[in-house]
Structure formats: C-alpha cells, structure tokens
Copies of this chain bind each other. A is one copy, B any other.
Amino acid sequence: VSDHTRAVRRRIVTEAARLFTSAGYAATSTRAIASAVGLRQSSLYYYFPTKECILVRLLGSAWRPALEQAATIAAAPEPADVRLAALLLTDLEALLALPFELGALYYLPEARAPQFADLWRDRDRLRAHYVDLACEAAAAGRLPDGPGGAASAADLVFRITESLAVSRGDAGPPDAELVDVTVARCLALLGVADPAAVQAAAARLRHRLGVAPGAWDDAGA
C-alpha cells in the first residue's frame, strides 16, 4: 500500500467518522464523504467499496491494534501485573493514536448488526486479556483481590481506556504524558503497591518485545 493511498484512506475515515458522528450513519451518503475529502464518488469506491467497509475499518481500529500485541505480551515471563501494565500502555497508545474519536460510532445502532459481530468479539477478547492478567496477578499475590475482585477492577480499567477513545474531548490532547499518567492512575485503581516500579518494568518488557505503537494505518487495513 503506497503512502499516498494510506494518506487518502486516513482522510476518508477521518471525515467519515466526523460525518457519522454529527449527522448519523444512515443520513451520511458516500457522496457526502467523497465531497468532504475532495474526491469524486467514483474514486471513493477505489478505496472503500461500500460505506459499511468504512465503518468496519473505523470500528476495527478500536481493538485490533492492541489485540494483535496482547497474546505476545500475555505470554512473556514477567509477573502478571507487569504484563497487564504493558497491555494497558499498548492499548492506550493505540486508542489515542486514532485520527478520530470513536464517539458515536461505538454506539451506532448500525454497528450492532450481525456483520460486525467479529469486531465486537475482538473487543471481548481484548477485555478477557485484561481480566485474565488481573486474576493471575491476584492469584500470585501481586494485586489485592478485595471486595469486587481483581476481575471487576480490570474490567473497570478496560472501560477507562475505552472511554478515552470514545470521547477524549475532556482529557486534553493525546500525548505521551497523558498515556503515562493514565496508566499510573489505573495501576493505583487496581491496587498495585508500587505503580512506578511496575510501570518501569512494563516499559522494559515492551522494549524487549519490540512492541511499538503501530501506525494506525497498519492495523486491519
């Protein structure tokens, strides 16, 4: 895929996300998307044959990048809380690198249609990684498993990362500091005794595994 194609695809999905969010999915025509990008409708079809393909691409961006790294991270020999921190960091980086807000897309009635079921299963798989790592860490005595349990705490952390992707308006511009601060806060929420040490170990793990924030364009394109 050429740089030019990538750049055009990025512009298309960004404009489509904006239109789907402001006018609704059903009310947005491919003609309107093409016009917003400055393409003829016939050229748009070269990049995305249908409007639905654009929505698949948008929703797929939410979970796939982190999911692609999750199995590798989960299989590493580090303690489970360190792996959980590495997954969280990877997920947040991927979500905040999206060139659009998931926002309304995430809640479009159309996104619940059967043809998108695979994407929602990706979400469940990613969430399961969070929960499994938290349970493993609790079993190893590295996370408290108090009222509500480590699993439900991990679930809440998963929702926090999602909520930042859904609407980051209040959270300020996405930057490395926001990611680090959010990870630290989530580790505090999970009850990690020494968040700074876990965060540093997670950074080393990611470095060793070569987990880089994948370019948005590389995921599921």
Contacts and interface: CB of A to CB of B under 8 A. Distances in A.
A164 B155 CA distance: 11
Given A127-B170, A171-B155, A188-B188, A148 B112 contact: no
Nearest to A191: B188
A181 B148 contact: yes
Contacts of A108: 104
A95 to B, nearest CB: 13
Main secondary structure of the interface of A (DSSP, over half): helix
A23 B107 CA distance: 11
| A-side interface size class | 35 or more
Contacts of A215: none
A189 interface: yes
A189 B189 CA distance: 5
Given A160-B156, A172-B152, A189-B185, A177 B147 contact: yes
A23 B109 contact: yes
A158 B164 CA distance: 12
